[in-house]
Chains A and B, each alone.
Chain A
Amino acid sequence: MSYLPILPEIVLTAAILFLTLVVVFYQGENRNGVMMTGTIFGLSVTLLTLAFVPPFAGYLFSGMLTLDGMAFFFRWLFPAVGLFVAFMAREFLEVKKAENPGEFYVILLLAILGMMLMASSGDLITIYLGLELTSISSYILAGYLREDPKSGEAAIKYFLMGALASGVLLFGMSLFYGLTGATNLVSISGILHQVGAPPLVLAAMVFLIIGLGFKVAAVPFHMWAPDAYEGAPTPVTAFFSVGPKAAAFAAIIRVFTDGLSSLVWEWSLAFAVLALITMTLGNLTALWQKNVKRMLAYSSIAHAGYIMVGLAAGTWQGTVAMLLYLLAYVFTNLGIFAVVTALGNREGKDELTDFTGLSQRSPYLAAALVVFFLSLIGIPFTAGFFGKFLLFGAAVQSGLVWLALVMAVNSAISVGYYYTVVRNMYLVAPKNKGALPVAGELKLVVTVALLVTLILGLFFEPVLGRLVAFTLPG
């Protein structure tokens, strides 16, 4: 057995161990900056290793890991997310005077390692381990600002709900083990194809849907999300809205399309219903929010609903559409949160009224934010459009025309709350005058996110071609 295919994960683990030592023993100047540099370096080396490791497709460690196109996609995506969040975090931690800013980066890297493991797992055990590594790190990150009561409240709500969800998910997993005598997803799939769909299998499947539904914040399992998103430190909110969410979707694709492929009719119906209520409720509730992080929390709930349309389709076209949508959504949302962080570092309250007159105070950030919002709405020539377009196509192809129409109506509703921010930026006179000072690395994050959003929007065909080649069945 060769360890070469998982060299990127090994490099990342080594970086985590090394940075832990740096946190403990380095007592010199500018610890925050040193740790950020170390984190960026570790993640870059991980990505470089991923690029130069000879391509490998198949199962590793007696089926514990599945390295296929989807795993490859997510193993690229997650370290990139980590790079963005690390860049966003430095100034924020400085402004909020966090104790021990160095530990933040180590825990962030641990969460990313867990996400990479989740996306490439081929067994219920590895899915659980990856999920918990991500979740436990996320609980710590949510409560990172110990002096801030909101942060503590976000942490405890996220923790209690997350731990309960893990328990329910695990109970479902144990039932599947009992019903099939296997924990490997491929073996489970083979046995389920023979036994069909007895009621107990469906009951176990419901536990899995509830547990993973909590993790992606699908309505009605979403109540933790707005509180956790609002209370958590802003860079962490950015991370939550893309990282663990995308990883949970990776786990869902793994469990349901790899493991429960014989029950596709049942679970695609369940996800169609979940998608319907998730996007509708998310969008409608977002209209009433005053706090921008809370509004974006509901927006991200709505987007989880859109992504679930791909699951409802239940075809590999649906899976491809989900991956492309996740790609577009991740970078767009990171860009939005970089702007929110830049503003929050100066204004400190993250209210929607903080955005007043941003077009005069920082024309670049305001313009970038408009592009990001257009992408989330799904306007042509932005990344979000092609994601939505493909999801729409996958839904129609599977005969879910009604779901595709609901999705279109919801995109129209979402214009309402994004427009509130745009109007505040361009049409309302600023509360605080004077240019907004923005840290260099935040500008860099916004620029890169903007470029990705536009390039994906204009030249999405090669990306789509790669994704199709990755995930083509057989």
Chain B
Amino acid sequence: MIPLFYVLVVSTLLFALGVYGALLSTNAIRILMSIEMILNAVNLNLVGFGRYITPSDPRGQIFAIFVMTVAAAEAAVGLAIILVIARRYGAAAIDRVRMLKG
């Protein structure tokens, strides 16, 4: 069986990549994808911990299912918002969206 350590390395890398992408991209879709990557890192953590730390307790897996469900809802709302922006500005490039200062 693969040791827990490897699972954690992959999930930490995924998380770091996700944060990097979310903070440095200028394309809304790409940011959304990076955020999904963070959530996948979380799911990997939850399932890995569930398997190795509490093998008799399905809590981690249940949490992961909740996270996936909520992520789907979040992506649906997010894409709808991005669509409104894209129709107005012609692309999902949010560096053009700067009516409000800041």
Contact = CB atoms under 8 A, between A and B. Distances in A.
Contacts of A157: 97, 100
Interface in B79-102: 81-82, 84-85, 88, 94, 97-100, 102
Contact of B100 (A125, A150, A171): A150
Nearest to B18: A167
Interface in A142-172: 143, 146, 149-150, 152-157, 159-160, 163-164, 166-168, 170-171
B70 A154 contact: no
Q: Main SS of the interface on chain A?
A: helix
Given A152-B84, A167-B39, A159 B77 contact: yes
Interface in A80-100: none
Interface string A161-199: 001101110110111011001110000000000000000
A136 B77 contact: yes
B62 interface: yes
B63 A124 contact: yes
Contacts of A354: none
Contact of B49 (A140, A167, A177): A177
B42 A143 contact: no
Interface in A92-139: 124-125, 128-129, 132, 136, 139
Contacts of B88: 149, 152
Interface size class on chain B is 35 or more
Given A146-B84, A152-B85, A156-B97, A129 B66 contact: yes
A25 B81 CA distance: 25
A202 interface: no
Given A153-B100, A156-B94, A177-B49, A163 B81 contact: no
A451 to B, nearest CB: 35
Interface string B14-45: 01001100110000100110010011011001
B77 A167 contact: no
A177 B15 CA distance: 17
Interface residues of A, number: 40
A352 B51 CA distance: 58
A215 to B, nearest CB: 14
Interface string B59-83: 1101100110010011001100110
A139 B18 CA distance: 21
A155 B45 contact: no
A146 B102 CA distance: 21
A17 interface: no
A153 B99 CA distance: 8
B28 A170 contact: no
Please indicate which of the listed interface residues A154, A171, A226 has the most CB atoms of chain B within 10 Å of its own CB: A171
A181 B54 contact: yes
B53 interface: yes
A231 interface: yes
Interface of A: 124-125, 128-129, 132, 136, 139-140, 143, 146, 149-150, 152-157, 159-160, 163-164, 166-168, 170-171, 173-175, 177-178, 181-183, 223, 226-227, 230-231
Given A177-B59, A227-B102, 20 more contacts: A125-B66, A136-B74, A139-B77, A146-B84, A149-B88, A150-B99, A150-B100, A152-B85, A153-B100, A155-B81, A160-B78, A164-B31, A170-B38, A170-B42, A171-B42, A173-B42, A174-B45, A174-B63, A182-B59, A227-B100
26 contacts: A129-B66, A132-B74, A139-B77, A139-B78, A149-B99, A150-B99, A152-B81, A153-B98, A156-B94, A157-B97, A159-B81, A160-B35, A164-B31, A166-B74, A167-B18, A167-B39, A167-B42, A170-B42, A171-B42, A174-B42, A174-B63, A175-B45, A177-B50, A181-B49, A181-B54, A231-B100
